[in-house]
A and B are shown apart, each in its own frame.
Chain A
């Protein structure tokens, strides 16, 4: 196993997590979308490196698919939403930014604890990086829970999904191609539907925060 391969894999996986943490720190919706684009590209790089290393043609196709869906299409869909309320910032997250960053650090430590319980089964350069994927998933959930704007919720959802994709690549070198195709299509459709909903929601729903949605309750 060459050190270049390991180094490149570490760099690309690290980029996925760093961009996830950056989305917690950034406030402008547009910069957050750029971070997601970077994350999609880094994720595709991970898949590409593994595909070359394992000589896996299916994974090669997956890598291009990831680049297309997560690096290009999903960020541009989100861009349209961001343009819609361009001056919007996350006005009042339930947890402020510096506390969020501290919490993210806690989540990263936690994911190493969880990760050690699964890595031992097949230790390798790739599986040792799995906690990075778990941390990305947890940061995504944290964002979903603590941020109130509609756009931030979608970003959280995409972070969760990218994190799971990273875990999949690192742990098992990708799921069977047909499952990969299906799940990428699902993710893409979910983002399309969410975009449609945001663009078509009544004006007051669109501009308000999700916490204000309380027409339905018991």
Chain B
């Protein structure tokens, strides 16, 4: 029943948030419920690693180490995001950007969004997984349009149209997998179940599976933000309130990537390693190159972070292209590290945007002298993002590169290293402007609220600890990687 309780927590929280008008305590209770999800995720991780997969509701929900790891990631990021919800809402209400009624919608939709993501990673049936991933689109559309400005509506319009048509392809792909599965004698009611699919995956018809997998990569790739279907991402990320940007970048994208990891395993068994590898290489390198090009001349802080997400999703795709257990383990570590780092950056950039009244990079200067703590957090976050040790992105990027070289993809590693170098230069240039540039007006340093500093510093320290001490995660990553890689 553990899987069921994981879903129950945010669902109940959504009902609570819907029943009362917005108060700060609802925000704090949401943070408590996210902490509970994180705790349940830890329990699930321990149980699935040491023991067998956990089931609930007659096998509708199923958690293996991979699902448990994703629950852990979702719990961590939503804890960070919900901790900032009371503050963000207070600032927005004070600024007149939103009102109490819309703050309530925001709190409810955020919990619905978290519930849908959890259902996506816990569903035993790959069709239900599709339904929940599509449901996250619907829940987040209103969160993207939360500010109700023309820009916000435009972003949410683009977001829902592009993601819906993109992910429709993934449904077609899923139907084709189902068709191939029925043909090898699977029963109607269980044939999209992960366990039964993996048993017959060797026998699935290669012609049908090739078409199916290409559709799945394009379709779920839309939601991951992989080129060529990425254009919704920078708009949506730049328009949402900071906690939602953190959730979208940290987990919404990677939950869709999780779906791709599952289907990659099936495709690998049906088609061999070569076909999935080629597809992942193409979309991964294209995303990396595009993100590099657009990061150089980026003028907006939040869009810069959004393009960096496309870059990191490209790196994940390259890791998946290698497809060995080492590579998948590194991909999963990267999902966690990128999620935490990007959340810290989005949340601190929300704070910066609130203080400065702008997200334009050129207009933000001298943060380190004016707001030393906030500027410091932001600076360390950027260092973690571009892959400085001891933060975990350094470790995961290194292991992904090693795994890619192992399977002979050294040329892809070379290209990605060049891209990472250019991105390092570009982000460094923007960071120097924002952090060290001459302040426009000389003012005394302003302190940063503890409620902002403590969670963010805590998250950065966690990220560094994960990078230094692998042991608490090692066995979980190992067993999670072996679910989808041989």
Contact = CB atoms under 8 A, between A and B. Distances in A.
B160 A121 contact: no
Interface stretch (B169-177, B317-325, B395-403): B169-177
Interface stretch (B100-108, B123-131, B332-340, B346-354): B123-131
Contacts of B150: 201-202, 204-205, 215
Interface in B136-195: 137-138, 141-142, 145, 148, 150-151, 153-158, 160-161, 164-165, 168, 171-172, 174-176, 178-180, 182-183, 188-189, 191-192
Given A141-B165, A144-B165, A175-B127, A213 B157 contact: yes
A120 B138 CA distance: 37
A168 B157 contact: no
Contacts of A150: 157
Contacts of A200: 148, 153
Contacts of A171: 175-176, 179
Interface of B is mostly: helix
Contacts of A167: 172, 175
Most B C-beta atoms less than 10 A away, residue of A137, A176, A204: A176
A175 B154 contact: no
Most A C-beta atoms less than 10 A away, residue of B171, B183, B297: B171
A183 B165 contact: no
B138 A218 contact: no
Contact of A114 (B161, B188, B211, B303): B211
B29 interface: no
B183 A182 contact: no
A172 B178 contact: yes
A114 B150 CA distance: 41
A98 B148 CA distance: 39
Contact of A176 (B189, B297, B298): B189
B303 A175 contact: no
A121 B205 CA distance: 8
B207 A118 contact: yes
Contact of A215 (B135, B154, B298, B303): B154
Nearest to A184: B131
Interface of A is mostly: helix
Contacts of A141: 165
A194 B160 contact: yes
Interface residues of A, number: 43
A89 interface: no
A176 B175 CA distance: 10
Nearest to A168: B175
Contacts of A215: 150-151, 154
Nearest to B145: A197
Nearest to A191: B164
Contacts of B138: 186, 189-190, 193
Interface in A163-204: 164, 167-168, 171-172, 175-176, 178-179, 182-183, 185-186, 189-190, 193-194, 197, 200-202, 204
Contacts of B176: 118, 171
A11 interface: no
B205 A205 contact: no
A172 B151 CA distance: 42
Given A157-B161, A186-B135, A194-B160, A121 B179 contact: yes
B468 interface: no
A122 interface: yes
A27 interface: no
A216 interface: yes
Given A172-B179, A186-B135, A218 B298 contact: yes
B134 to A, nearest CB: 4
Contact of A182 (B127, B211, B303): B127
22 contacts: A120-B207, A121-B208, A141-B165, A153-B161, A156-B165, A157-B165, A167-B175, A175-B127, A176-B189, A179-B125, A179-B127, A182-B131, A182-B132, A183-B127, A186-B135, A194-B157, A197-B157, A200-B148, A200-B153, A201-B150, A205-B154, A216-B151
Given A117-B208, A176-B189, A186-B131, 9 more contacts: A122-B183, A157-B168, A161-B168, A175-B174, A183-B130, A189-B138, A216-B151, A218-B294, A218-B298
Interface of A: 114, 117-118, 120-122, 137, 141, 144, 150, 153, 156-157, 160-161, 164, 167-168, 171-172, 175-176, 178-179, 182-183, 185-186, 189-190, 193-194, 197, 200-202, 204-205, 210, 213, 215-216, 218
